[in-house]
Amino acid sequence: MEIDRPNAKEPTAEELAQLERLKGIIEKAMADGKITSHEYQNIKKEIYAHGKVSTDQFYREIELYRSLVQEKLEKGELEYDAPGM
């Protein structure tokens, strides 16, 4: 599901760097086909690490997570390897 945000501002260089950093963390976590509880917490920590983040940037980070992780979970291409998940 694509979310249209017609009033969204273009990301700054810093925001793009944050997205690349988050993408790297996610890709590293997914490398073995599983995401552990610890890896999931690291992903969440990176998303919320910036303190005050713009709404646009938050949506970009959540969309990145959704496209890289959630879709693979739904297709069975990735699984959580954590108790209770």
Domain range enclosing 43: 30-81
Distance from C-alpha of 14 to C-alpha of 12, rounded to nearest angstrom? 5
Cα dihedral across residues 85, 36, 62, 55: positive or negative: positive
Average pLDDT of every residue of the chain: 84
Distance from C-alpha of 4 to C-alpha of 18, rounded to nearest angstrom? 21
pLDDT at 46 over 60: yes
Least confident of 32-36, 46-50, 59-63: 46-50
* Residue 68 counted as domain residue: yes
* Residue 55 counted as domain residue: yes
* Residue 25 counted as domain residue: no
If one counts the domains in the chain, the total is: 1
Q: pTM for this structure?
A: 0.78
Most confidently modeled range among 7-16, 47-56, 66-75: 66-75
pLDDT at 35 over 70: yes
